[in-house]
Structure 1
Amino acid sequence: MPHLIVEYSANLAPFPERKTLVELNEAVCASPEVQTEADLKTRFISQNSFAVGTESSPRGFVHAQLRLLAGRTPDAKADLAERVAAVLRRRTPQPEGMLVQLSVEIVDMDRPSYVKERL
Structure 2
Amino acid sequence: MPHLIVEYSSNLSAYPEAQALAELNAAVCASPEVLDEADLKSRFVRNASFHVGTAASGRGFVHAQLRLLSGRSPEAKQDLAARVAEVLRRLTPRPAGVMVQLSVEIVDMDRPSYVKERL
Question: Where does residue 21 of structure 2 map in the other structure?
Answer: 21
* TM-score, normalising length: structure 1: 0.99
The 2-side partners of 1:17 and 1:25 are apart by: 12
RMSD of Structure 2 on Structure 1 (CA): 0.5
Change (3 A) 1:41 1:70: same
2:11 counterpart SS class: helix
| CA apart distance, 1:96 | 1.2
| CA apart distance, 1:56 | 2.0
Q: How many residues align?
A: 119
Question: Where does residue 108 of structure 2 map in the other structure?
Answer: 108
Matched, 1:87 2:87: yes
Question: Where does residue 117 of structure 1 map in the other structure?
Answer: 117
Q: What letter matches 1:3 in structure 2? A: H
* TM-score, normalising length: structure 2: 0.99
Show structure 1 runs of 5+ residues with no match.
none
| CA apart distance, 1:104 | 0.1
| CA apart distance, 1:57 | 3.7
Q: What letter matches 1:89 in structure 2? A: R
